[in-house]
């Protein structure tokens, strides 16, 4: 029975382990926290990323290593790769860990990005603002997630405040200043590439964020036209350049009808959670299949899906459980402000049925405002 090792024990590892089980694949998760939520569904080895003795034991017990967490130190990934197959490969991980390397690669692949400039010093920030203009967003190059490590500048007058907040991480890992894009919409494309090079994408997903955290995803994204083929080609080019194996997400903005690359996540991604019930094969199952060298499954959508993220605390489950074709996911995490603690996906055969189902549910949960942008698109 193959054993899949997963670095990081959050909800993504948990959902990977749940998808691996029916394939006869065992999982072993590494996390520094004894109460990491994947530990509720899979064996957990408690270790830090630099506890090389523990990681050596881990490597001896698993057939393939993958990630729930993309910020595993490159050194750790590299050391593991000397002992056991690691997918995605450490070089792909390293590129996706660094916003500067990532955006540079996007451009090399023909994917435009918001204007950006590297910032290492306070003087760099002034130069970058002169080049990029305002409004702009200053971001740490590394280790940011859920909008953390970012400062939005309305004008050059905010430079001191931005530096007060991000000057310290700048000294460690560097920053990047990006033009703020007044995008029409945010999309993501989930893609998977197998060990044999087989490549597939799921339908584009439309995403809405709140305070830099994903709030709502609708799939397939309506009215994408030729953007679907373009996103698939860009994702394929990226995957081939990186010799990528596994699932990844490419986060995109649409401005003036054109795709701009925001970032890539070298792992399964929150905006693909709808695929558990809303696609023929979920992102989690295809990730397990791909890293183990198994044939990939069909990525087509079954009807339409709307995913609600539960941030901070879970609402009452009962209205979701009472809704036809709605699916409840409780990650088993402690409630904490800003934390992703669960999600729910509502599925239906067409837009009108989804709008009716999701609209009634959102109202019952008191989440009408969260659902509103998707319901408007679905014609309700
Ligand atoms: P995660 O990894 O959780 O997706 P993150 O911390 O890496 O998030 P980003 O994806 O860079 O953060 O930004 C979070 C959100 O902030 C984006 O999805 C988008 O809504 C908004 N945002 C980020 N950069 C820009 C930009 N240059 N212009 C306009 N909006 C932006
Ligand atoms: Mg990110
Ligand atoms: Mg993002």
Q: Which of 147, 179, 211 is the last residue of a domain?
A: 179
Alpha helices in 154-293 (DSSP H): 159-173, 227-241, 275-278, 283-291
Q: Read off the pLDDT of each residue in 150-176 and give the average, rounded to a whole number.
A: 92
Confidence grade of residue 273 (pLDDT, cut at 50, 70, 90) = very high
The answer to whether residues 223 and 333 belong to one domain is yes
135 lines ligand 1 (CB under 6 A): no
Helices (H), 293-350: 318-322
**Which residues define the annotated binding site for ATP?**
99, 139, 144-150, 178-181, 186, 209, 262-263
Does residue 4 contact residue 30 with C-beta atoms inside 8 Å? no
Segment (H or E) for 56 = helix 52-61
Nearest C-alpha neighbor of 194 from the set 233, 243, 228:
243
Regarding whether 288 and 373 lie in a shared domain, the answer is yes
* Residue at 357 is within a domain: yes
List the CATH number of the domain containing 65.
3.40.50.20
**pLDDT (average), residues 346-359:** 98
Q: Is residue 60 scored above 90 in pLDDT?
A: yes
329 in the same domain as 214 = yes
Ligand 1 contact via 184 beta carbon (within 6 Å)? no
**Per-residue pLDDT tens digits for 109-145:** 999 999 999 999 999 999 999 999 999 999 999 988 8
Both 193 and 159 in a single domain? no
Task: Count Cα atoms within 13 angstroms, Cβ side, for 127.
Answer: 9
Tell me the backbone φ, ψ of residue 299, rounded to 5 degrees.
Answer: -100, 10
Please give the helix or strand (H or E) that residue 136 lies within, else none: strand 136-140
What is the number of the ligand closest to the CA of 139? 1
Neighbours of ion ligand 3 (CB under 5 A): 251
Per-residue pLDDT reduced to its tens digit, 67-126: 999 899 989 999 999 999 999 999 999 999 999 999 999 999 999 999 999 999 999 999
Task: Label residue 174 by pLDDT band (50, 70, 90).
Answer: very high
Instruction: Please tell me the predicted confidence (pLDDT) of residue 380.
Output: 77
pLDDT, residue 171, reads 79
Q: How far is it, in rounded angstroms, from Cα 203 to Cα 235?
A: 12
Residue 5: beta bridge partners? 28, 65
The answer on pLDDT for 379 being more than 80 is yes
CB atoms within 10 A of CB 74: 14
Compute, in angstroms, the gap from residue 157 CA to the centroid of ligand 2.
27
Q: Are 189 and 321 part of one and the same domain?
A: yes
Tokens of 176: 């990047």
**ipTM, interface predicted TM-score of the complex:** 0.98
Distance 187 CA to ligand 3 centre (A): 11
Q: Higher-confidence residue: 330 or 170?
A: 330
Best substitution site from 212, 217, 255, 260 to test ligand 1's pocket, by max atoms within 8 Å of Cβ? Answer: 212
pTM of the full structure = 0.97
Is pLDDT at 169 greater than 80 in this prediction?
Answer: no
- Average pLDDT of span 195-219: 97
The count of structural domains within the chain is 3
Distance from the alpha carbon of residue 299 to the mean position of ligand 1, in angstroms? 26
How would you list the strands of the sheet with 85-86, edge to edge? 44-46, 26-31, 3-7, 64-67, 85-86
Pairwise CA distance, residues 324 & 367, whole Å: 18
Output DSSP code: residue 39. G
CA dist 380 and 194 (Å) reads: 40
pLDDT attached to residue 144: 85
Give distance in angstroms: CA of 22 to centre of ligand 2.
30
Q: Is 110 a member of any domain?
A: no
Residue 14 C-alpha to ligand 1 middle, in angstroms?
Answer: 25
Q: What is the mean pLDDT of the chain?
A: 97
> What average pLDDT score do residues 4-10 get?
98
**CA-CA distance, 10 to 66, in Å (whole number)?**
13
Q: How far apart are CA 217 and CA 244, in angstroms?
A: 25
Q: What is the mean pLDDT of residues 214-223?
A: 98
Q: What residues are neighbours of ligand 2 (ion), with CB under 5 Å?
A: 263
- Average pLDDT of span 286-314: 98
Whether 46 is in a domain gets the answer yes
- CB-based contacts of 176: which residues, under 8 Å, 6+ apart? 99, 100, 103, 116, 117, 118, 119, 138, 139, 141
- Tell me, what's the pLDDT at 168? 85
Predicted pLDDT of residue 82? 96
Range of the domain at 164: 115-179
């Amino acid at each position: 029975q193959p054993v899949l090792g997963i670095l990081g024990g959050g909800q993504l590892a948990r959902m990977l382990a749940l998808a691996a089980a029916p394939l006869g694949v065992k999982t072993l998760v590494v996390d520094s926290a004894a109460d990491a939520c994947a530990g509720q569904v899979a064996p957990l080895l408690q270790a830090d990323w630099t506890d090389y003795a523990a990681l050596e034991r881990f490597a001896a017990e698993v057939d393939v290593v993958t990630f729930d967490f993309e910020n595993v130190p490159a050194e750790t990934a590299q050391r593991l790769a000397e002992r056991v197959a690691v997918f995605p490969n450490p070089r792909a991980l390293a590129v996706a860990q660094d916003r500067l390397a990532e955006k540079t690669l996007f451009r090399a692949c023909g994917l435009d990005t918001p204007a950006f400039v590297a910032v290492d010093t306070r003087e760099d920030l002034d130069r970058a603002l002169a080049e990029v203009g305002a409004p702009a967003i200053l971001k740490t190059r590394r280790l940011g997630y859920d909008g953390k490590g970012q400062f939005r500048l309305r004008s050059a007058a905010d430079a001191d405040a931005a530096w007060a907040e991000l000057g310290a991480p700048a000294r460690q890992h560097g920053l990047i200043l990006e033009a703020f894009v007044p995008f029409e919409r945010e999309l993501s494309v989930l893609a998977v590439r197998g060990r044999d090079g087989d490549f597939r994408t799921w339908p584009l997903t439309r995403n809405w964020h709140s305070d830099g955290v994903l709030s709502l995803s609708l799939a397939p994204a309506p009215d994408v036209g030729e953007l679907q083929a373009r996103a698939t080609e860009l994702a394929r080019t990226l995957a081939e350049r990186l010799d990528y194996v596994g699932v990844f997400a490419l986060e995109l903005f649409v401005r003036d009808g054109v795709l701009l690359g925001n970032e890539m996540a070298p792992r399964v991604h929150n905006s693909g959670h709808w695929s558990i019930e809303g696609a023929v094969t979920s992102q989690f199952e295809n990730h397990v299949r791909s890293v183990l060298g198994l044939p990939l499954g069909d990525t087509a959508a079954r009807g339409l899906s709307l995913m609600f993220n539960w941030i901070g605390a879970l609402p009452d489950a009962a209205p979701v459980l009472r809704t036809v074709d709605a699916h409840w996911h409780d990650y088993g995490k402690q409630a904490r402000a800003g934390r992703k603690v669960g999600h729910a996906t509502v599925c239906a055969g067409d837009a009108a049925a989804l709008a009716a189902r999701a609209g009634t549910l959102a109202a019952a949960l008191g989440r009408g405002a969260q659902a509103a942008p998707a319901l408007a698109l679905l014609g309700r």
